[in-house]
Amino acid sequence: MNITAALSRGPKTPFTLETITMAPLRDDEVRVRLVAAGMCHTDLVSKAGMPAEPGAVFGHEGAGIVEAVGAGISGVDVGDKVLLTFRSCGQCHACAQGTPGYCDAFVALNSSGLRADGSVTLTQDGKPLRGSFFGQSSFASHAIASQDNVVVVDPETDLAAVAPFACGFMTGAGAVVNVLAPDPEARVIVYGAGGVGMAAVMAAAALGVRTIVAVDLSEERREAALALGATAVVDGRSDDLVKLLAEATGGGATHAVDTTAVPSVISSAVAALAPQGTLVLLGLGAPEVTFNVMDLITSGKTVRGCIEGDADPQVFIPQLVRWHAEGKFPLEKIVRHYAFADINTAMADSVSGSAIKPVLVFDEPSAR
């Protein structure tokens, strides 16, 4: 069938809305009509690193309505509201442990541009395109997904509101809930008040943590973090940042999240940990960072990475949707909607930082 997709033809070119062809549905696949799709930093990083040919369709925070299901699909029906998340094999050790973000086949299933068997889901004029991005390629009117990356949500769910739960917000919230698991007396610092960092702030607030400090360069974002549950904010440019954070937390962070991937920020975050504190790294960026190893050893500090919030999307996404319905996760305060046709404006606003979390809305004449 023919669909409309936002095609990327190189790192320096804008997206163009074009008609392309979607492959017939297989027995183990689901076809979804997109209602909304979040724009994530990973989409932009991937676009920046992708060659011009053969053309690619990104998007990995899709939300929509199921239009068709293959004969081998169970638990997903036509008409269901769903969020589309990352793919996993369901068979390796990580998947069996409930942490599919570390799936042995993660790269092949999510960033190869192909189905697992090497076939393509998207073509144009008979020529293959790179699709199946995170098992979906949801910057399009329709997407093909699989049983493992389709999460059915409540029929009353506002899909345009919760689309970011499919990846970015699941990552930030999951790092807090699943990895750090702070109690109300914990002292949490979040570095970087973008979408992922804001999700970490909201998750800590939802857990009842009484000391939540957000660090960012932007005054607007610091103010937004306060509206989402942060109890204090610190300008990341401040002199003596570690001292200020010690004062704000009453002795340093017991738990911390870095979303910036900036080496100097990570070094400061390690220094600002209280003894036996834990820092979780979420940002994609510089591959190397320097910090004081003796400080880790003598203070019992922990630094660890985290993919997709160590979450099982089939369990964690519905939890986030419930929190939103209960008013515990007010992501609408930082989400900005754009019509699908305005995808390049959304990208520019994301890059400039003027929009914390852009979400594309389909079949809408203008942004809302």
Gyration radius (Cα) of the chain, Å: 20
Per-residue pLDDT band at 80 (split at 50, 70, 90): very high
Residue 12: how many other CB atoms lie within 10 Å:
8
Model confidence pLDDT, tens digit, residues 15-65: 999 999 999 999 999 999 999 999 998 899 899 888 777 899 999 999 999
Phi, psi angle pair for 212, to nearest 5° = -130, 115
Model confidence pLDDT, tens digit, residues 202-222: 999 999 999 999 999 999 999
Model confidence pLDDT, tens digit, residues 81-100: 999 999 999 999 999 999 99
Query: Rounded mean pLDDT of the chain?
Result: 95
Helix axis angle for 241-249 and 263-271, nearest 10°, is 40
Q: Is the pLDDT of residue 366 over 80?
A: no
| Per-residue pLDDT at 258 | 97
Q: Is the pLDDT of residue 286 over 90?
A: no
Instruction: Identify the helix (H) or strand (E) that includes residue 265.
Output: helix 263-271
Question: What CA–CA distance (Å, rounded) separates 174 from 233?
Answer: 21
The more confidently predicted of residues 368 and 143 is 143
Per-residue pLDDT band at 368 (split at 50, 70, 90): very low
Kindly state the percentage of the chain with pLDDT values over 70: 99
| Per-residue pLDDT at 151 | 98
Model confidence pLDDT, tens digit, residues 316-361: 999 999 999 999 999 999 999 999 999 999 999 999 989 999 999 9
> Where does residue 126 fall: left (phi above 0), alpha (psi -120 to 50 degrees), or beta otherwise?
left
Amino acid identity, position 246: A
- Report yes or no: 196 and 169 within 8 Å, Cβ to Cβ: yes
CATH number, domain 171-307: 3.40.50.720
Structure pTM? Answer: 0.93
364 CB-contact burial (10 Å; exposed 0-12 / middle 13-18 / buried 19+): middle
Helix axis angle for 343-352 and 41-48, nearest 10°, is 100
Q: What residue segments make up the domains of the chain, in order of their start?
A: 2-166+334-361, 171-307
Residue 95: how many other CB atoms lie within 10 Å:
20
Mean pLDDT over residues 264-285, rounded?
94
The CATH class given to the 2-166+334-361 domain equals alpha beta
